[in-house]
Chains A and B, each alone.
Chain A
């Protein structure tokens, strides 16, 4: 079974982004970029399924600018067999990415598609579900456990108040939650090996997909600052403040 995994190049999670003074967006010039952490978990899960003998080939896909090739090389260093970059300079929104992935799903016919549940830049949490809908596939979102048994995927999902398990016919779409696995560190030999792996570059036009944005960003501002309050010397003062000043207990 083939697995398709999508990976997004985002501002590294350790970077505290700054809003541009003209309100046009956040400043990502000269900022460290990395693979979206949830996508790293997605690749790791695919590699584990391959190590179990369930998966035969892992295809990593990234959509965006030329530099996404670096993200694909990281995916291949973790263990993806080959990469596909759908290259465009257009700002890609989740609907456009879902359409691009659907075109690739039709082309590659994977049995499973694994995506991160959300990207840590736009925090949308949409692409996997959109892909599932467009490709008419079942979905197991926010997965904390993935089991492939008898041609079905049993997905344990994190939901409000606990977890639930759904059984999906294959092919299916899975999106990863934080505790699905802990991605391995990439080793130098694997980074070297990844450089020799196949990486194809396509365009949205070649896939016949219109990637025009549907949502226009009018402005981006800093959130209202919450000012620091006071330090209290002891528990008694704290309780007095909560009772008499804040009136919350």
Chain B
């Protein structure tokens, strides 16, 4: 029994979500191998070999892997899939994009967003936006899983010394090509990896006010910025800031929700945070029912006051 973790990386380094996925793979029992499919990704492969608990790294080099296109990465996974009992991806935009292609080609059911490994074939996962937790058992020989990173601690990034085996890369699909990307560049921590998240809701009222009020607090705390769906839909914050069932699932040490009422879809994305602070002027806001510390106040007064006092 051996598990294969598909590394998420930028060719130079391995992304944090891979570390949590390795932990989930170790819980499945047996050895853990990591696949790095990239373009000039020797540094990422070397980083993967350092992850504690990893027995072997498979490294495939190809033009088709530069931008992680699902068609190409899935084909590379399928080329080695027969050797593995478990194939795990982080439940990120990239992992969610690729994993089902692998499962379908293997003719196995995929288990998405696992939060716990009960046994090598039995897993727990949230359904209905986290309003219920299902325990499910795979009936297939190969288990294809996506891992909700907040459910597993990250494996240590160093301490391992796995051998790196070079694979023959599969050819790139001619049907899909990468055109370009717009990735916001900033110095803030990534939302899903941040220790502190400062999140704003519709009460902010405009994108200018969102930035004026929330950004200084985030800067002061070295926090990532998040937003409720209502705030994103209203155009106050970029799409990829959305925390919730259909956005990012986060579990930082501290989550500060300002002007967020706490719709069930939002709570689904942040209720595993260690400490939740809610700032809202509506005493009945559902966010208070999950908050460790609730401050009933106008965010336009309280947030700047908080920023100044820190």
Q: Mark the stretch among B25-33, B109-117, B157-165 that contacts chain A.
A: B109-117
A215, B109: Cβ atoms under 8 Å?
yes
The distance in angstroms between the C-alpha atoms of A167 and B295, with both chains bound, is 48
**What is the chain A residue whose CB lies nearest that of B98?**
A129
In the complex the two chains form, is B309's CB within 8 Å of A239's CB?
Answer: yes
Q: Which of B113, B239, B245 meets A163, CB within 8 Å?
A: B239
Interface string of A168-180 (1 = CB under 8 A from B): 1100100001110
Residue of B nearest to A102 (CB): B104
Is B240's CB under 8 angstroms from A162's CB?
Answer: yes
CB-CB contacts below 8 Å: B85-120 with A: 92-94, 96-105, 107-113
Measured between alpha carbons, how far is A52 from B240 in the docked complex, in Å? Answer: 29
Instruction: Tell me whether A26 and B128 are in contact (CB under 8 A).
Output: yes
Query: Chain B's nearest CB lies how many Å from the CB of A38?
Result: 8
Contact with A along B187-223 (1 / 0, CB 8 A): 0001010001000000000000000000000000100
A123 to B130, CA, bound (A): 9
- The stretch among B34-42, B48-56, B171-179 that forms the contact with chain A is B171-179
Closest to B122 in A: A218
CB-CB < 8 A to B305: which residues of A? Answer: 235
Centre residue among A17, A129, A217, A222 by max chain B CB count within 10 A = A129
Within the complex, the shortest CB–CB distance from B192 to chain A, in Å, comes to 7
Nearest CB on B from A158, distance (A): 6
Task: List A contacts of B179 (CB < 8 A).
Answer: 154, 164-167
B245 touches A133 (CB 8 A): no
Q: Please pick, from B103, B133, B190, B232, the residue contacting A160 in the complex, using a CB distance under 8 A.
A: B190
Assembled-state Cα–Cα distance A22/B254 (Å)? 35
Tell me the bound Cα distance from A120 to B97 in angstroms. 17
Alpha-carbon gap, A161 to B275, bound state (A):
24
Q: Is the CB of A17 within 8 A of B108?
A: no
Instruction: List, in ascending order, chain A residues with CB within 8 A of B177's CB.
Output: 166-167
Residue pair B101, A160 in contact (C-beta under 8 Å): no
The interface residues of chain A lying within 8 Å CB-to-CB of B233 are 178-179
> How many residue pairs between the two chains, A and B, have CB atoms under 8 Å in the bound complex?
260
Q: Which of B110, B113, B183 contacts A94 (CB 8 A)?
A: B110
A133 CA to B101 CA, complexed, in Å: 5
In the complex formed, the residue of A with least CB distance to B248 is: A160
Q: Is B295 touching A235 in the complex (CB atoms < 8 A)? A: yes
Query: B226-243 interface mask toward A, CB cutoff 8 Å, 1 = contact, 0 = none?
Result: 000100110000111000
Rounded to whole angstroms, the CA-CA distance of A164 and B179 in the bound complex is 8
List the interface of chain B (C-beta within 8 A of A).
67, 69-71, 74, 92-94, 96-105, 107-113, 122, 126-140, 173-184, 190, 192, 196, 221, 229, 232-233, 238-240, 245-246, 248, 253-254, 264-265, 271, 274-277, 288-297, 302, 305-306, 309-310
17 A-B residue pairs with Cβ-Cβ distance under 8 Å, sorted by A, are A120-B129, A121-B128, A123-B113, A129-B104, A130-B100, A130-B104, A138-B175, A161-B183, A161-B190, A165-B179, A215-B109, A226-B290, A228-B290, A228-B294, A229-B291, A229-B292, A248-B254
Q: Which 4 A-B pairs have the closest CB atoms?
A: A214-B109, A129-B100, A229-B292, A164-B181
Seen from chain A, the residues whose Cβ lies within 8 Å of a Cβ on chain B are 11, 13, 16-17, 19, 26, 38, 93-95, 98, 117-118, 120-134, 137-139, 141-142, 144, 154, 157-169, 172, 177-179, 213-223, 226, 228-232, 234-236, 238-239, 241-242, 246, 248-249
